[in-house]
């Protein structure tokens, strides 16, 4: 059977758009009456809470409060909707070439999984995206309560695919220590640099573009 392939999401299948994220958070700050740079900094500092515990409205409410704001529920809802629009826009930005690679892998019989350190709005946007239709399973940190590189999140994806972690190939840019985490559970690891050179010290297989993956899989 062709080997299952488990992908990271941001900076792997789509660009992470870090500057766009900061711009949107700055706009959200104005909606809830706090200083934009302060809310951007708070978003960066609380990434783990956002990936594991808080939905988008709670994030806005908590962080605005910490920064001295007292937003109304209407203001919170408006800012949360702005963030949800960003999540949908980022997933809709997937390149046709990336979708073609995924379609080729599926045609070759590779089961496809996703493991993502992601906030609730990204997981929500995923369900209606063109990417979701091409995957057999998707595991989001915000839904399972653990984040990469915790071994449990990789094992969850393998279990949902009905395979062992050692059967799987993991493809990611390397953020959050994800490559070492995948290797630690026995997955074959391939780093991609197409969207971001996140882990330049990684000593292993690499892809410059995702369309190199189908051929590379024949040798792993």
Q: Which two tokens stand for residue 150?
A: 């915790």
Backbone angles phi, psi at 26, to 5 degrees: -60, -40
Residue from 155, 167, 156, 147 nearest 10 by CA:
147
pLDDT of res. 218: 86
pLDDT of res. 193: 96
Distance CA 74, CA 66 (A): 18
- Is the pTM above the cut of 0.75? yes
Gyration radius of the chain over CA positions: 18
Determine the straight-line distance between the first and last CA of the chain, rounded to whole angstroms.
13
User: Looking at domain 5-14+94-217, which of 3.40.50.1000, 3.10.20.310, 1.10.10.410, 3.10.450.230 is its CATH number?
Assistant: 3.40.50.1000
pLDDT of res. 85: 97
For the chain, the domains span 5-14+94-217, 18-91
Contact 33, 71 (CB under 8 A): yes
Q: Please count the CA atoms within 13 angstroms of the CA of 149 that sit on its side-chain side.
A: 17
pLDDT of res. 191: 98
Each residue's pLDDT, cut to its tens digit, for the chain (220 residues) gives 799 999 999 999 999 888 999 999 999 999 999 999 999 999 999 999 999 999 999 999 999 999 999 999 999 999 999 999 999 999 999 999 999 999 999 999 999 999 999 999 999 999 999 999 999 999 999 999 999 999 999 999 999 999 999 999 999 999 999 999 999 999 999 999 999 999 999 999 999 999 999 999 987 7
Which stretches of 55-113 are DSSP H helices?
56-66, 73-92, 96-107
Contact 98, 214 (CB under 8 A): no
Q: 137: which strand partners? A: 113
Three-class DSSP category at 124? helix
Return the number of other C-beta atoms located less than 10 Å from residue 19's C-beta.
Answer: 8
Q: Would you say the C-alpha torsion 85, 51, 198, 91 has a positive or negative sign?
A: negative
Return the number of other C-beta atoms located less than 10 Å from residue 75's C-beta.
Answer: 18
CB-based contacts of 136: which residues, under 8 Å, 6+ apart? 111, 112, 113, 160, 161
Q: Parallel, antiparallel, or unpaired: how do β-strands 5-7 and 169-172 relate? A: parallel
Backbone angles phi, psi at 146, to 5 degrees: -135, 155
């Amino acid at each position: 059977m062709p080997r299952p392939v488990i992908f990271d999401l941001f900076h792997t299948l789509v660009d992470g758009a870090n500057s766009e994220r900061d711009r949107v958070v700055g706009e959200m700050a104005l909606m809830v009456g706090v200083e934009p740079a302060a809310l951007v900094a708070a978003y960066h500092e609380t990434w783990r809470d956002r990936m594991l515990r808080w939905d988008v409205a709670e994030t806005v409410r908590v962080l605005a409060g910490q920064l001295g704001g007292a937003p109304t529920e209407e203001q919170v809802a408006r800012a949360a909707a702005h963030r949800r629009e960003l999540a949908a826009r980022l997933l809709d930005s997937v390149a046709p070439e990336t979708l073609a690679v995924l379609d080729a892998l599926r045609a070759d019989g590779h089961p496809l999984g996703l493991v993502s350190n992601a906030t609730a709005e990204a997981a929500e946007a995923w369900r209606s995206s063109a990417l979701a239709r091409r995957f057999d399973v998707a595991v989001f940190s915000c839904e399972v309560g653990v984040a990469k590189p915790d071994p449990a999140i990789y094992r969850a994806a393998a279990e949902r695919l009905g395979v062992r972690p050692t059967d799987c190939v993991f493809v990611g840019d390397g953020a959050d220590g994800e490559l070492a985490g995948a290797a630690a559970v026995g997955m074959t690891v391939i780093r991609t640099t197409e969207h971001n050179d996140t882990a330049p010290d990684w000593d292993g297989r690499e892809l410059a573009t995702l369309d190199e993956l189908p051929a590379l899989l024949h040798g792993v």
